[in-house]
Amino acid sequence: MAEPIHYTSFPGFDGTSLEDSFVLEIQAAPGRLNITLDLMIGWAHPSYRDPLEGEVACFRKAVIEFPAVRELAWTRQSSVRPAMDASGEQDWGGIDVLRQLGAVYQLEGNWGAIEVASQEPIVRIIGS
């Protein structure tokens, strides 16, 4: 069996911290999976900027896109209600696990567990 590959090895994910980020929305539809989040970015990431007033780190709104989804299973969809952040947005917690195991990507958080067979995920920063 293949060794799991941690998300920080994926192109575009270096310098990000999914565990310290905040999931705002998960959209699963035929052929795609998109996770919108306030992404914590470290100084080594090209989209880093100094933290805004009141922030302890750099957070940027982003989407993690899983393109060309062939198969998707979402289990343990939580009965936990989202928290409300300071701006009034719903927050489902972080992404505790994102790893590749063979042809499947595994994700886990308070919102449940997802296994998705897709092309390599893409992280896209929204806005400036």
Among 28, 15, 38, smallest CA distance to 86 is for 38
* CA torsion, ordered 75, 81, 86, 87, to nearest 10 deg: 70
Among 126, 128, 113, 119, smallest CA distance to 11 is for 119
Residue 78's pLDDT is what? 65
Residue 65's pLDDT is what? 98
DSSP secondary structure string for all residues of 42-59: -TTSTT--PPPTT-SSEE
Residue 84's pLDDT is what? 77
Kindly state the tokens that stand for 105.
């990507």
Regions of the chain short of the pLDDT cut 50: none
pLDDT in tens, 77-91: 866 677 777 677 788
Residue 1's pLDDT is what? 61
pTM score of the predicted model: 0.91
